[in-house]
Amino acid sequence: MARTRKLTISTDAAGHTAGWASTEPASDTPVTPHPSTAAFFDVDNTMLRGASIYWLARGLAARNYFTTADLAQFAWRQARFRLLAAEHAGDLSRAREAALAFVAGWRVDDVERLSEEIFDELMAPRIWAGSRALAQTHLDAGQRVWLVSATPVEIGRVIAQRLGLTGALGTVAEVVDGAYTGRLVGDLMHGPAKAEAVAQLAAVEGLDLDTCSAYSDSVNDLPMLSTVGHPVAVNPDTALRRQARERGWQIRDFRTGRRAARIAVPSTVAAGFLVGAVSAGLAIRRRWASN
């Protein structure tokens, strides 16, 4: 029997929504929201060149929270996990157990502050202009635009805020007294979990999924793309490109040959906070605690 996940809708001590997080309106005169239509964008390699967690790790390394050697190990282990996950049909049970162990004890407000700084420094220049323009088209039409990513929801919210989007759906980390415990609430926002989260958000906000759009680069997001009436493959991997052609979906590719080659390494760490984060993350936590 299929297991149904419930997307938690609650707030922590700071008033942040768990499961998904809204942002403030992007302007003083927002377009009147469309009552039943929204767009959902994957983040890594869809909205952003490479993986958000990789660039966050790069920014932390630059701030001496851990070393470049830790960063290399972090990237290698995450790349290895992504390969294993694909081989085992997306089995993320081991990832779920270890996913956020390295942030245990970190303050949520510190992570969000650092995420804002690192977005401005490293992520903003790597936002795909084409994907950002697609999101703006939806906003201009009065539609809500949500990011949907395996990255922790707090980081997703920072990216959504910086881009002027409606909010983010992401992996939920347990928080006690304003600090991460290192455990997850529910499952990683990955694969079928994304589709379930989108469906639950649609039920809460009264969205008609047949009129909604979804954008992703990865075949792992087929469940989410299949949930909406207007799926679009953006910078697709080979498997998704094949599926999109077979199903008659739109394909938008904003890469060029040389640019696509340059982002190959960070793109391998696009699965979010995964098993490979733990050993590198222990070094991060030791350095964090010593500051």
Rounded to the nearest 10 degrees, how much is the dihedral formed by the CA atoms of 77, 81, 82, 88? Answer: 170
Distance CA 210, CA 250 (A): 16
CB atoms within 10 A of CB 235: 26
Place of tokens 């050993």: 279
Catalytic entry in 12, 28, 42, 91: 42
**Dihedral over alpha carbons 212, 217, 220, 223 (to 10 degrees):** 10
For the record, the structure tokens of 267 come out as 């793109």
Is 19 in contact with 171 (CB distance < 8 Å)?
A: no
Distance CA 119, CA 151 (A): 14
d(CA 276, CA 74): 6
Catalytic residue among 44, 70, 187, 221: 44
Smallest Cα–Cα separation from 172: which of 145, 200, 144?
200
**C-alpha angle 128-37-214 in degrees, rounded to nearest 5:** 40
- Is 28 one of the annotated active-site residues of the chain? no
Which residue, 134, 128, 178, 177, is CA-closest to 154? 178
42 is known as an active-site residue: yes
Residues with a catalytic annotation lie at 42, 44
